Structures are given as C-alpha cells and as structure tokens.
Structure 1
C-alpha cells in the first residue's frame, strides 16, 4: 500500500516545480551575458515570471533580467532576442527588450529605450567598461504551455574590427554611428573624411566581386556624409581594398576569404541623434549592364553569382525565355567575324 504522506509530498514538490519562477525573475538575480562579435546565446523563459513595477519605457508586465559589460573600446551593442517555441505564446509584437542606464537594482527611472523584438536592437553612446541591466518583458496573457514562453537572447558589439558583425548576402542589418569611437591604425587608402566614429562588419566573399550598400541614412549622417571601406587581411594588419560613399564595389576578391567593412561619417565630431543606417551585402557588382564584367577569350574564368541579383529595366527579352528578375551582366570584345552573319 502506498504511503499517503509520501504521495502528498510528491504532489507538493511537483506543484512547487510547476509554479517556480525563472532564476532571473528578479533584477538582483540578473544573468550576466557575454558580449562578443557573434551571438553567445542564452536561453530564457518568461513562464511564471512575475511583474515588477518599474518606471520606464515598457509597461509593467512579467519580466526576466540580464546584464552585460560593454567591451573596452566599444560604445554600442546589439541585443537580439528570438522566440524558440514551435507553438509560442510570445510574439514579436507582445515581447519587448528594455535597457537601463544602471548596474544596480532597482534601476528606477533610468530606462534608455523599450523596443519590440522584431529586429535586433542597437544601443549606442554607451560607456566602455560599464555594466548595463536589461530585461525581457511581455504583455502576453498567461494561458500557454510552459515552453511557449521560451526565447534566446544574445548581445554583440562591432565597435572594433575584432568584434565585427557578420554580414550574409541578402539580409539588411540596422546600424547606428551615434557615440561610436575611432580605431587607430586602420589605413584610409583612397577614402576621404575623418573616421572618428567607425563601426565594423565582415563578410565571406562569394565570388571575386562584392557590393556593400548603405541606405536609409539618418539626417545627421546624411549631412555629414557616409563613407564605406572594404578591408582585407588579419585584424591588426588590415589593408584598404576599396572605398565608397553609400555604395562600394570591390573586385579582385578571393572567394572564401573574409573581408572587413568599415562604416564612418566623413565629418569631425557628432551633433544630433540621427546617425542610423541600414547595411547589406546583397547586390552583385555586375547587376546592371553599365557594370558588366569583362570576359576575355582564352583568359581566366570570371566568377558569377545570381544570388540577390535584381531585374534590370529596359533590356529586351529577345530570344530569352522565363522571367529575368535576377540577372547579372558580362561583356566581351569580338575578335573574329562570323562569315555566316551579315
């Protein structure tokens, strides 16, 4: 016969397990998150999280807490939060990240901003070496299963080449030069302006050419003038490959090699707060006829890649079939005359 007392104790323990709060439910128990050039993912949950009354940008909903230290030489970080459940209660519309300009609890009215998690959030103007608190919070109604409140979070920084953020061909990445510092020892090459506020990205060349686009400039960055530089070599010994303004085209790259991209404003110093931009590694250099790559008879093979190619207007279809919505262009010089062609 089973002991009723043992059964009661087991039921109590199961109940305690089912209804226990996350370990970082309180600000005082904020989990330290490592900051690096790539995501060091930390798993989290808002299941059974409790509400803490905070004067800040986000509403007072259930939350869990994290903290990070800004790397030496860096002035900005990106916080990325992703929902991991296959049947989530959390959504990008009802889940938020809030950063506080404080390292102690409670953070009082030191909220810097509150944003939903639809995109990675960049925070600039931070102090190197300082510790900052942030919380993940949600307005979701507490009706879902436990795993429907699961998420991952990571913090990255790209204020130095060693912490460059990775660009992949296609996605657009948000950036913000506000408060960015300068990196000494980086050659200007043919670039112009004063690189006293730079951020860094890196990409793996898919072919011998690449294009970096910088768009949607904030008004202060637009007025100062944006500069885009592609660099090669190991960190600490970088060489300039190509320079441009809001678009830079680089050729002579080695497929499979890693290249770095520096973004900075041409002016000296910063005024105002509108220094945002979007950066992408998406368009082949020869996406349009005017930039067609030259193919030489009997010469070296020329790499091509249709990934992220776009349609060119005004080009007749002729004998081609299908939909030319992702074309790239090459050109050659005829060296002989076809006697059968008038």
Structure 2
C-alpha cells in the first residue's frame, strides 16, 4: 500500500494540464515542469503535429519586441507550440517546433505588449517527461517613430502612450536642455496659433521633451524641458498656424521607459505670451499675477536667466525718455525677475534685466531696471519669477527725460605762479529724475598741465543713467624762472627702479624754479629729463623767453571803431582816450564804446576792468573779426581777463550798457585798461649745463651662502665696478647694477 501511494503521487496529473489552468511565466524566466500523466490536447497542428500529452503556460509581455522560448537540455524528445486567442477557441498558431537543439525544441517569436501568448509543451509521438522551459529577455522592437522622419501625427486633446525602450538616441541640438543621450521617439503636429502644452507628467521614467520647427534635416529649437512635474517634463509655447512641429520624447541621461504624452491647445490669454503682450505706459502702477502666464523657455539671457518660471508680458512704446520699471512695491509678494527686450516677439534682443534689487526697501528679492528708450521703438517687458516662483506683482513705470550733461565753452587759463587753479566746467547739467552725481575727470590744474586738457563731465541720475560732455581747458604758463644758474656737480639718489627725474629745482639756482614754464631740462644728450643707472651723467638747461612783450600800448596799436555818444540820453557822455601807456575806454549809462587791437604774433592780451561800483548791467566783451564772442563778462564788477590771440587776429574790445538812461547820484565812469600783451612763442635766451653723480642707496638683495643662516661678516661693494672685494665668493648680490657699503 505504501508503494502504491508513492507511485500515485509521483505520476499525478499536472496542475496546468488544461489550457484554462495555464501557469503564467515572465520574460526572462526558467521554469521546470513535467508532461507525465498529462492529457493530449486538441489544440491542433502548429508547425508541428500535436500527438503527445502536454501542459500549458502563458506569457503577457510588457513591451513589444522579440523573445526566444526553448526546452533545450530537457531529458526527453519535446515539442513546443505557441498560440494566441482564447482557450475555448479558436486558438491561433504563432509558432511551433519539434527539433532545434537535438531532440529538444525552440521558437523565436515577435510579441506585442499586453497580448497573452499560450505556450504548449508536449512531446514527439506519445513521449512524456520532465523539462525546463526557458523564456529569454524580450528584445524591444524598433518603433516606427524612432527617427524624426517617422514621426507619428498628434492631435490636440488626444493623449498617446508609448515607450522609448528599444529606440535609439538622436543627434539633435540642445533645446533648453540636452536631448541626445537617451533613446527617443518622435511625434508631429500642425500649429494652429493656439497656446500648446505638451506634457509627459505621470510617465513611468525620468523624461525629457524637446519641440522643434524646421525640417528633420534642419531642426530649429522652439522649447524644451527636463523636470517640470517631478522627474517628468512639460513645455508650453505658442504655435504658429501652418508650422509643423516635431516633438522628441526622450529621457534623462540614458533613461528609457513607457510614457503618456498629452497635447492640449487653448487660445493664449492676454499677456501670457509675447504676441499678446498687455499695453504699458508711464503713469499709475499696474498689478497682476504671473500664475496665469507661461514659461518663456526660449528667451535669451538678459542680465539674468528668465526661462524657468511663468510670466506676464507687456509692451511699452519708447518715448525717447529714460524708463525705470520696478516690482519694489507693496503689492508684490514673491521673488521676482524683470527682463526688457527690443526687436520682435520672434527675435527678441536683450535691453536690460534684473533679479534682485538690493536697494529695495520692501525686499531685496524684488526687481528694478532702468534704460534709455528710442522714440517709436516698442520694448517688451517680461515679469517673471526666480526658479519656479509665481505670485502677485505691482509694477511701477517711471519715465524721465534722460540726464543732460552741459559743459561750459572751452577755456584758456593763464598761470603766472605755481598755485593750482580749480576749474568747474559744469554749465548747468540736469537730470529729470534727480541728479545722483556730477563727476569731472580733472578739476585742479597747474603749470605741469600746460597745453590742451580734455575734461569730461559725467552726470548720473538716480536711476544710474548717464550723460557726458567735454570741454578743453588750455593751460598757458607765464610763470618764469629768474636769476637762473646751473649747479656744476649734483649728487642724485636713484629710486627703487634705478632711475630719477631731473627737475629744475635739482640742478638750478634762482627764483620760481618749482613750476617754471620757461625752463627745459634734458640729460645725457637726449630729449628726456630722466636718468637711468648709477654713475656719472650730464644735464643741460635751456632758459626760454617770449619772442616779444608789449607792456605799453601805443596809439597805433588801437583803432577806435565806435563811439555812440550819449545814445539819446541827455547830459550823458562817453570818453575815449588813446594814450601811449594804455587804452582807457570810459563810459556811463546808455553808452557803448569799442576799440580794436591786432596781435602782431601769437600771444596773450590781458585786460583789467573796473566798473567802479556802477550799474550792474554794464557788459564787457571781446569779439573777433567774425563776430564770435571770445569773452563775455556780463554784469562784471572788477577783474582781469586773459585772452589768447593768434598772430594777425583782431579783437574788438567793447564796453556797453544795456540799461536805461539816467545817471544815479555819485556815479562814476566805467573803465577798461589793456596793460600787457605777451607772446606765446619762446626762444632760447640762456643755456647752462653740469654733471650728475647717481647713486643707489637701496639695500642690496643678498643671498646667503649654502649651509649658512645669515651673513655674519661685513662686506664692501664698489660703486664703480659693482664687484665684491675680499669676500666669500659664494655671496651673490642679485638684480643690482651698483652698490654702496653695507653693514
């Protein structure tokens, strides 16, 4: 009885003897089994006859591709048949095999994701036995839309499912994110002018998405995204009617998997995209929310990146004024960014952008930009957020006339001493929004600035916008050295660079040497005043004098050109005298008198004027032969005027009173006296020369001998030779051309 019981258990009917009781297997897998005590199935012939008992298995693949199923290595003569369809029939043969690996069987079949395949293991003739069923790894099928040229057409509102498993990576350009490292598949759709959102949210792997226009052979990036909803991707953009768009679904790094792609199309809301930008102008603040905006993924960098958060667009017509836009207002409640562009919505050019306004009193994570506008040019303003921030904003627009730098006319300053003069060239600069600063490139001038000096004046308004102008300040030095003599031998200590500049005060005796305009020092037969290197040098000095100087004017130097008399005012008069010593032009109220002077050579004419406390409306002018005012001392009191005249140039000197008739009690004459004319041309009047002995008293750079920590002996170095005498030969002096005694 015990033996009979054992035999019954060993040869019991298999649980999967019937098709309806098939055991599910996966790919890949290895499953042992037996056909002993199974029944013969009436499944019909499937590439091989069905005569022996058999058992059933099912395979439902997750992906489409090809898979190998075999019984190789099993210990009896097997057969293998694969069907689709229901067990109740009819079953459809997919593949069958008798002998592949010896007397054992194998098939390779194409499978479709989600389809159930019924596998029958049976034998040759009536053979039964144990076996091992091996299901290999499914090799994914290459999708028809693996290449751009096979893109599958999409329609708005109709999601599609698919997989990138088995696809190949595509060599496409970067489109906001890199898209060429993982397998990808392609879709296409025709633009309608709507706002399009293509989303992979909810897909089963770490995705990326790219949208292109153009052709498969010449793709142009429209937008792209890596992570939008977790590790999945989404893009929003405005489609152009009639344009074909190609959508690439791919993965991060080498990721691949199943996905769901949805495409939704809605008409764009006002301000959500550039082409529906809201109007903006100077005036009251505007408010809104970026939550209803879109991500402008393709925007160029503009002071900051503007491609990660939703935003709202405005269009602001240029007026020629300076604009300041700011979210630094109480109605803003999130971390903002601002970008301003010119051009067109399809080809925007950055003007200015900002992330954080550190001067904002509400919060530094607000944004402010300032820029100059051109009349007739539209400026596109994008209000967005840092990262993916969205929220409410209050945008202010301040419009100001640009700052205007105004410079005084060119000036000529005559220096007759070494004291610097301060020159302010600001002629009334303005800034509509308020002046932040006015900066002048040079303010103080002395005789070392002789000649033309271009001075730049820059005015900056409170928004950081600037304007500049220039004025030329010409410095003429009449400061002359007197009683000059050369010092025969001069000792000079060189600087750290082994050179020294030789100034008049170092080699001359006399007066006014510090800033003399008539002294020219040169060294060693060159045109330079700088010596280089130790040892002996020579210098020479030239003392210059003007070609000529007029200190007493003659009657013939002046020509009286106008004397209007009393100008119709009773009991009033004008007095004009031309004396050998000077010209004295005296007038009273309602008068005008003028005289002309022609310069015999290039020089400077100097005038004293004294209005003697008379009416403030007296004016003193110097006018050249073309009618150009060289000097206009309006409402002047008392002072001196120095004016450069070129050889042959005639200056008309005029005193006029533009006041009413009538002489106040105790009034006096207004007088103008010309007292000198000095030539600017100089000739050598005196020369002298001498010798210079240059020494370097800087401590030498000493390198100690090997195996010593310090110098313990005294050494002497000769200036003439630069060699060490009677010293340790291992002691080196580096980078010096001459030396003094050292201790």
TM-score class normalised by the smaller sequence: 0.3 to 0.5
Larger helix share, 1 or 2:
1
Higher normalized contact order (CA 8 Å, seq sep 6+, divided by chain length):
1
Structure number with greater Rg is 2
Q: TM-score, normalised by structure 1?
A: 0.41
